[in-house]
């Protein structure tokens, strides 16, 4: 079997084996603010940002558009789509193939395009943490030239308290083709021959972005923050950051605010900018409260699940790959800790009598603190610890 056939079969199996219901989420942000590009005129700006995300089993599609209108008719548009497919988990390993296309259009100026595709390997050791490595190849078109690019990345994410943290490092290499050569002022390109005016010079630009980002919620406020640094011998080193906050003011409406410093894109030569914007977010196509016509089944790989009753007992399975001991306590055990037994590759299992209804419980891994099982919503107990409440059907 060829590798391509194997991949297709694997993806087909993944699609068939995952019964999760399709999910469609969309937003439309409309706002105004200030915009200070690195190499253009600063000023006020109005933005419209529609975005859509569709997820069905292992497949995820997303699309976003950003239209900005500045005084004197100076408008810019950026659009992007991405598609990804994930394989089933193979132990702690999961693979993802993805493709991405981005393009820009500008007032009286030719736009840019970029296509890229690649693979990403995820390692999920458990407890909600994961790490990944990825490699992508693609091509960008800008300023009348095509530029092959490749990107290598690695990263890790984990939940620390109420904050979801993510750290990533991405190294991008792009070949730039210049019609009018000039000596590199910093002398760090791979070309070593003197260049004559009018000749075509191909130079290789490399840069590395290291970014730490976090996402958390305080009461009804959702925050996203990122802070990073661009390292490059070719372009000036830049600190890049962003902070956004949103607060629901109605079932489908939220106030959003965003500020930050975006880095320039060396692949398309789009300049960086500082920005601040305030606006409204309309949730469209995301009927959050619409009931599903059918029950969404829990998958066999759910981090925590309670199975159907069999002979007056139910199977409880918790995914905790690196654990040496997992205990469960709840109102169905009189809050006496019950030791779970290893089950499968990274699961832990117990058979307990649990009646239908609302139950309160917590788990403890390796004798640590009591906390909510993975995949459940943590509730702060009156006693200071963390528990969960689950509905058993």
Partner 1 sequence: MPLGRALALALLLLIPAVAAAQDARLTERLDTATAASVQQVVDSARRAGLPTEPLVQKALEGGTLGASGERIIAAVEALHGQLGRARDALGGSASDAELTAAAGALRAGLPPAALRRLQSLRTGRPLIVPIAVLTDLVAEGVPAEQATRSVLDLARDGRPDDEFVALRRQVQVQRRGGAGEPMNRPPLRPAADPPVDR
User: CB pairs under 8 A, 24+ apart, for 385-388?
Assistant: 386/362, 387/360, 387/361, 387/362, 388/360, 388/361, 388/362
To partner 1, the closest distance from the beta carbon of 70 in angstroms equals: 8
To partner 1, the closest distance from the beta carbon of 56 in angstroms equals: 12
- What CA–CA distance (Å, rounded) separates 323 from 303? 13
Query: Is residue 96 near partner 1 by the rule CB under 8 A?
Result: no
Q: Closest CB to partner 1 among 7 and 48?
A: 48
Q: CA triplet 25, 29, 31: central angle to 5 degrees?
A: 175
**Proportion of the chain in helix, strand, coil states, percent, rounded to 5:** 5, 65, 30
Provide the 10 A C-beta neighbour count for residue 69: 16
> By C-alpha distance, which of 83, 85, 87 is closest to 62?
83
14: enclosing H helix or E strand: helix 3-17
Binding mask 313-342 for partner 1 (x = CB under 8 A): ----------------x-x--xxxx-----
Query: Is residue 172 near partner 1 by the rule CB under 8 A?
Result: no
Provide the 10 A C-beta neighbour count for residue 313: 13
Q: Closest CB to partner 1 among 50 and 126?
A: 50
The single residue among 71, 162, 199, 220 that binds partner 1, judged by CB under 8 A, is: 220
The single residue among 288, 308, 311, 324 that binds partner 1, judged by CB under 8 A, is: 288
φ, ψ at 43 (rounded to 5°)? 165, -175
Sequence-distant (≥ 6) Cβ neighbours of residue 224 within 8 angstroms? 213, 214, 215, 242, 243, 244, 245
To partner 1, the closest distance from the beta carbon of 278 in angstroms equals: 8
Query: Is residue 161 near partner 1 by the rule CB under 8 A?
Result: no
Q: Which stretch binds partner 1 (CB under 8 A): 86-94, 130-138, 266-274, 318-326?
A: 266-274
> By C-alpha distance, which of 83, 97, 24 is closest to 55?
24
Query: Is residue 18 near partner 1 by the rule CB under 8 A?
Result: no
Q: Closest CB to partner 1 among 6 and 42?
A: 42
Bridge partners (DSSP) of residue 210 are 169, 229
Query: Is residue 177 near partner 1 by the rule CB under 8 A?
Result: no
Q: Where are the beta strands (DSSP E) in 251-372?
A: 253-262, 273-283, 304-310, 313-319, 326-330, 338-339, 341-343, 347-352, 357-365
Q: Closest CB to partner 1 among 120 and 281?
A: 281
Owner of token pair 């600063």: 42
Total binding residues toward partner 1, as defined by CB under 8 A: 100
Query: Is residue 13 near partner 1 by the rule CB under 8 A?
Result: no
To partner 1, the closest distance from the beta carbon of 15 in angstroms equals: 18
Residues 20-79 that bind partner 1 (CB under 8 A): 21, 23, 25, 27, 29, 31, 33, 35, 37, 39-40, 45, 47, 49, 51-53, 55, 62-64, 66-68, 76-78
Q: Closest CB to partner 1 among 8 and 137?
A: 137
Q: Which stretch binds partner 1 (CB under 8 A): 121-129, 262-270, 303-311, 339-347?
A: 262-270
Query: Is residue 296 near partner 1 by the rule CB under 8 A?
Result: yes
The single residue among 134, 155, 181, 279 that binds partner 1, judged by CB under 8 A, is: 279
Query: Is residue 100 near partner 1 by the rule CB under 8 A?
Result: yes
The single residue among 123, 148, 248, 342 that binds partner 1, judged by CB under 8 A, is: 248
Query: Is residue 352 near partner 1 by the rule CB under 8 A?
Result: no
Query: Is residue 199 near partner 1 by the rule CB under 8 A?
Result: no
**9 three-state secondary structure:** helix
Query: 324 is written with which tokens?
Result: 């040496």
Query: Is residue 114 near partner 1 by the rule CB under 8 A?
Result: no
The single residue among 95, 362, 363, 365 that binds partner 1, judged by CB under 8 A, is: 362
In sequence order, what DSSP letters do the residues of 355-370 get, joined into one string? -SEEEEEEEEETT---
Binding mask 132-151 for partner 1 (x = CB under 8 A): ----------xx--------
Q: Which stretch binds partner 1 (CB under 8 A): 9-17, 119-127, 272-280, 308-316?
A: 272-280
Query: 106 is written with which tokens?
Result: 């500008």
Sequence-distant (≥ 6) Cβ neighbours of residue 103 within 8 angstroms? 78, 79, 80, 111, 112, 113, 114
Q: Closest CB to partner 1 among 11 and 52?
A: 52
């Amino acid at each position: 079997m060829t590798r391509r056939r194997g991949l297709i079969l694997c993806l087909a199996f993944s699609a068939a084996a995952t019964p999760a219901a399709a999910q469609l989420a969309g937003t439309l942000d409309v706002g105004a603010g200030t915009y200070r590009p690195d190499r253009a005129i600063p000023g006020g700006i109005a933005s419209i940002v529609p975005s859509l995300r569709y997820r069905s089993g292992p497949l995820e599609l997303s699309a976003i558009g950003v239209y900005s209108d500045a005084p004197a008719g100076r408008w810019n548009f950026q659009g992007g789509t991405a598609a990804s497919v994930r394989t089933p988990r193979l132990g702690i390993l999961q693979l993802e193939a993805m493709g991405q296309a981005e393009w820009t259009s500008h007032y009286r100026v030719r736009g840019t395009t970029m296509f890229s595709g690649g693979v990403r390997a995820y390692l999920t050791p458990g407890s909600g943490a994961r790490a990944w490595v990825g490699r992508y190849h693609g091509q960008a078109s800008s300023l009348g030239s095509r530029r092959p690019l490749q990107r290598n990345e690695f990263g890790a994410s984990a939940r620390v308290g109420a904050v979801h943290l993510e750290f990533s490092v991405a190294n991008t290499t792009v070949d730039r083709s210049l019609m009018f050569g000039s000596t590199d002022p910093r002398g760090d390109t791979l070309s070593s021959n003197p260049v004559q005016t009018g000749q075509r010079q191909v130079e290789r630009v490399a840069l590395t972005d290291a970014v730490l980002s976090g996402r958390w919620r305080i009461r009804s406020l959702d925050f996203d923050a990122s802070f990073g640094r661009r390292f490059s011998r070719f372009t000036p080193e830049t600190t890049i950051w962003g902070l956004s906050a949103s607060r629901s003011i109605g079932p489908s409406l939220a106030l959003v605010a965003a500020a930050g410093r975006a880095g320039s894109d060396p692949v398309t030569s789009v300049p960086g900018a500082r920005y601040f914007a305030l606006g409204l977010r309309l949730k469209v196509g995301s009927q959050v409260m619409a009931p599903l016509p059918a029950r969404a089944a829990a998958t066999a790989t759910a981090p925590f699940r309670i199975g159907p009753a069999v002979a007056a007992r139910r199977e409880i399975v918790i995914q905790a790959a690196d654990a040496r001991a997992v205990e469960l306590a709840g109102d169905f055990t009189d809050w006496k800790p019950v030791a779970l037994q290893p089950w499968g590759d990274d699961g832990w299992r117990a058979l307990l009598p649990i009646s239908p209804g609302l139950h309160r419980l917590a788990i403890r891994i390796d004798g640590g603190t009591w906390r909510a099982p993975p995949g459940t919503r943590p509730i702060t107990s009156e006693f200071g610890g963390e528990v969960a409440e689950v509905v058993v059907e």
